[in-house]
Structure 1
Amino acid sequence: MALSRAVPNLAFRRLRGSRSPAEFAAAVRRAAREIGEQVACDARYVGRVEAGEIRCPNYAYERVFLHMFPGLSLADLGFSAREAVRGRRPAAVAAGAPPPLAAFTTRNDEGSDVLRRAFMTGGTATLATASLGLGGPSAVAIPAPRSAHRVGDAEVRAVEEAVRQIRLLDDRHGAEGLYKRATQPLRTAYALLDAGVTARRSTADRLHNGAGELAISVGWLAHDSGRFDDARSHYAEALATARMAGDAALEAHAFCNASFLARDAGCYREAVRAAQAGLRAAAPLDSDRLRALLTLREAGAWAGLGDRAACSEALGRAHSHFGRGPSEGDPEWMSFFGEPELEAQEARCWSLLGDWSRAARHAQRATVLQDPHFARNLALYRTQLAGNLARAGHPDEAAAEIRRVEESLGGVESARIRNLLGETRRAIAAAR
């Protein structure tokens, strides 16, 4: 059965007006924050909508678009009806033929926390595809190659979407319930790399980047779950992928997370070296925000070593980079890095140096500035604030913060937060 040709969405293009795709994507992300949603919209997504590749947005994007353009329907925005896009599978699929990507990109029930797996044969290899549907309306599948040694745009887009969904689910629920399930799409992504790609260099580059970013995302889930050895392995895998592909942005990201992991593991000199290596990789990139985060990683490592002067100098550089503002070159994964995270990272530096009152002031700012929609980050910031207050001699205020954290955790599962809560309770008891 022939595939229908994508029809450009001219209505959506008119709504963008004179704004560039990146500027419009930024407006979409701002609108999402206004209504408590989170979407990983970038210029590429806008281009896919305008090209007609996305005939109907998922439910999160639908809510954002209708908020941005009150009074307009999805049809007014140039989209097709959802039932027309996500209808019954073709008869060939029902009869047992390998399903296309669209057959797996279907609506999940809200609140589902299971990883749906299907197995499909592509050419000479049998590869697993995995859907992630925890707490969200859309599932993501990574399909097997359509034939031996042929991987195309559909597979690469699926890898990229898997990365976005893992990040979204982590923001809302934490890592523990997600880590083991997220390793399946990672294995599939690297199997696609092994299967070979089309002759188009751009497709190969995107697949390497997507697989590397997926390795970092899964590594972070391991990191946040307290599985440091697993996290180190995944970050190393991402770094190797970046080096093989000559991808400076991916290399900087891998070093950024490796530095964070080394600091949490108490390997502070390793954390310094990884942060500095990340800064070298990021030098040619147009992203002061990325350089700010890497410099914060370096500052935290110096703090762990007890070098107050080097920490203060690095914090000054981080603030200088951050003050230059965002740019179109900022990586998509850095959507979490705003002023709340800047304050929280600085608080961590001062706590490592034993300056508890100063740490508490920065942690307090982080909790005030943080969007409540990011439940895991807000719980983390409040737990850090409580620990700093307890050690600064304010156990009652610390206990009040702990109660707020416990009341707000809900479905958030993070070993890191649980460990911090335990440490903070012990600090409160000691202070009393």
Structure 2
Amino acid sequence: MGMAASAAPEGKPNRIFRELRGDRSPGEFAAAVRRAAREIGERVACDARYIGRVEAGEIRCPNYAYERVFIHMFPGRTLTDLGFEPRQAVRGRGARTGPGRTGPGRQTSTPTTEESDVLRRAFMTGGSAALASLASPLQPQASAAAGTPVARPGGLAGGSAVLGRPGETEAAAVRQAVRDIRLLDDRYGADTLYRAAGEALRAAYELVDAGARRQAVNDHLHTSAGELAVSVGWLAHDSGRLAEARSHYAEALATARVNGDAGLEAHAFCNTAFLARDAGRPREAVRAAQAGQQAARQLAFSRLLASPRLESLLALREAGGWAGLGDRRACQEALARAHNLFGMGAREADPEWLVFFGEAELASLEAQCWAALGEWARAAEHARRAVAVQEPRFVRNIALFSAELAGYLARQGDPEEAAAAGHRSLDLLVGVRSSRISAMLAGTAQRLGPFRAEPAVAELLSRVSPASPAASPPRPG
């Protein structure tokens, strides 16, 4: 991986990072970094030498992959809290010790490194304009593959001579797109990212249509494109484009079926069930969740691929559908299965995208079930827990759970606490655009209208705009 910052021989030693290493040797700490990377689906070639360079101040700011890993290892801290310099203060690419250097013990050609760096910068410099440029490294190759065959000089006739056929680099680029969309969704919100992510998805499917020469690459490309379709579907869902979300999930499901990918199939059904519930189709939600569980069981035939956490989330999706149908008994049975499966703990086979599914999400989804059954006090109890146990780095989720809590409290008849939860959600949503959360807060504000004599309620009503409540400023202090 290319360094996102220049190495600075004159840099000051990073004493904070050295303190965080504690009694572990550089090699032991590097092993811990690699383990943390695997937990979130990253790949970093960290070794003792890399740790030494960080502590010596040669690496003033790590690349984005290492940033995600370090923040995962030390939740709630920023890069500057870890002793690094702000990214915007570090310019240039002087960290390389030679052409094509990409990290400890890894060499690659300069063109490959350049392409990888362009892709990473496209996502991580922020905002929809940067995200839109994701398609740029993929589009020319995709277009060439989909257009008139161009023969290499001296090449063989036929398909083997076509330029632009995708390879492992392109498949990995699509996979990285999925990871970065998840990161940027929490930072900017679905409304900001959806259109640009759709451009990336179109480029990815052009590569799928072109086809790779090796089956292993084709499989990787299909899975990555399918996961990207699910991610774009989620952005559509969260930004209120439910019909478009349904289309993207169907596209992901078709990709899974064509490629015989049970893991992708389970993911597509999981999101389809969530969408169906939100769209007022609870019976479809139940069927989709049950189909997802069947796909997950296909994976579980091999003990090495079993993921109780995946099955737990699908059971929660089923519970949400039963709650929407008013079937309390079936809902409780599904909730009990979900809790039992969740209690089995994390496994190596847990899909990368399940990183969001922890105790907080479990509590939130259970709260939604009780809300659908009209038990507002019980819903509020679980929503409070969701807010309390959510990791601080998932800012958008805390905003979501707070908005849900505000709605339940308003229904329960506790306007003051509901307003407090609404303010908390709005404070966290500055700079993040999510139509789904905005609609929740607008609905809560409408329900609290009769209580506008309460100062906290009056203030919330003044902050919530039906068009875009997330854009309102935070309260002073």
98 and 313 in structure 1: CA distance in 2 versus 1, 3 angstrom threshold: closer
CA change 1:256–1:67 in 2 (3 A) is closer
Contact 1:149-1:197 within 8 A present in 2 as well: no
Q: Name the aligned partner's letter for residue 41 of structure 2.
A: C
CA contact (8 A) 2:367 2:381 kept: yes
Q: What are the equivalent positions in structure 2 for 1:244-263 lying under 5 Å apart?
A: 244-263=258-277
Does the CA-based 8 Å contact 1:282-1:291 persist in structure 2? yes
Matched, 1:202 2:202: no
Change (3 A) 1:208 1:71: closer
Q: Post-superposition shift, 1:249? A: 0.4
Counterpart residue type for residue 61 of structure 1: Y
- Offset at residue 277 of structure 1 (A): 0.1
Q: Residues 64 and 235 of structure 1: is their aligned pair in 2 closer, same or farther, counting only changes over 3 Å?
A: closer
Counterpart in the other structure of 2:77: none
User: In structure 1, what residue type is equivalent to 2:144?
Assistant: A
Which one has the largest radius of gyration? 2
Aligned to 1:281: 295
Change (3 A) 1:278 1:25: farther
| CA distance in structure 1 between the partners assigned to 2:322 and 2:275 by the alignment | 14
Selected match of 1:190 from 180, 185, 205: 205
The 3 A distance-change label for structure 1 pair 241 and 112 is closer
Aligned partner of 1:125 in structure 2 is 144
Q: Any conservation in 2 of the 1:216–1:234 contact (CA below 8 Å)?
A: yes
Give the equivalent residue in structure 1 for 2:94.
Answer: 83
Residue pair 1:346, 1:359 contacting (<8 A) in 2 also: yes
- Structure 1 length-normalised TM: 0.76
Matched, 1:297 2:312: no
Separation in 2, partners of 1:249, 1:267: 24
**Partner deviation per Cα, 1:376-412 (whole Å, 9 max, x = no partner):** 1111100110111111121111011111212221111
CA shift, 1:83, in A, is 3.0
Task: Quote the sequence identity (%).
Answer: 52
CA RMSD of aligned residues (A): 3.7
Letter in 2 for 1:41: G
Match of 1:333, SS?
helix
- The separation in 1 between residues aligned to 2:360 and 2:385, in whole angstroms, is 7
Identify unmatched segments of 5+ residues in structure 1: 1-13, 31-39, 51-55, 74-80, 90-96, 129-144
Q: Give the ranges of 4+ consecutive aligned residues of structure 1 lying more than 6 Å apart after TM superposition.
A: 66-73, 86-89
C-alpha displacement of 1:111: 4.6
Provide the secondary structure at the position in 1 that maps to 2:191.
coil
Does the Cα contact within 8 Å between 1:121 and 1:127 map onto a contact in 2? no
Task: Specify the SS of the correspondent of 2:192.
Answer: coil
Distance 1:430 1:272 in 2: 37
Question: Is 1:27 aligned with 2:36?
Answer: yes
Q: Does 1:328 align with 2:363?
A: no
Q: Name the amino acid aligned to 2:259.
A: A
Tell me the TM-score normalised to structure 2 length. Answer: 0.70
Q: CA distance change for structure 1 residues 289 and 198 in 2, over 3 Å: closer, same or farther?
A: same
Asked whether the 8 Å contact 1:212–1:242 carries over to 2, the reply is yes
Letter in 2 for 1:273: R
Of residues 56-65 and 292-301 in structure 1, the stretch that sits farther from structure 2 once superposed is 56-65
| Equivalences for residues 203-242 of structure 1 within 5 A | 203-242=217-256
Comparing 398-407 with 103-112, which one deviates more in the overlay? Answer: 103-112
CA contact (8 A) 1:295 1:314 kept: yes
Report deviation, 1:423.
Answer: 1.2
**CA–CA separation in structure 2 for the residues paired with 1:98 and 1:64:** 23
For residues 186 and 372 of structure 1, the distance between their equivalents in structure 2, rounded to whole angstroms, comes to 30
1:158–1:60 CA distance, 2 compared to 1 (3 A)? closer
1:70-219 correspondence to structure 2 within 5 Å: 82-85=93-96, 101-102=115-116, 104-105=118-119, 107=121, 111-114=126-129, 115-116=132-133, 118=136, 121-122=140-141, 125=144, 147-148=162-163, 150-199=165-214, 201-219=215-233
Matching residue's letter, 1:261: L
| 1:71–1:124 CA distance, 2 compared to 1 (3 A) | closer
Deviation per residue, 1:273-331 (Å, 9 max, x gap): 00000000001331000000000000000000000000001000000000000000000
Match of 2:381? 361
| 1:67–1:230 Cα change, 3 Å | closer
Using a 3 Å threshold, how does the CA distance of structure 1 residues 222 and 195 change in structure 2: closer, same or farther? Answer: same
Separation in 2, partners of 1:146, 1:416: 48
Question: When the two structures are aligned, how many residues end up with a matched partner?
Answer: 371
Which residue in 2 is equivalent to 1:140? none
CA 1:299 to 1:212, structure 2 compared with 1: closer, same or farther past 3 Å?
Answer: same
Counterparts of 1:66 and 1:306 in 2: how far apart (Å)? 42
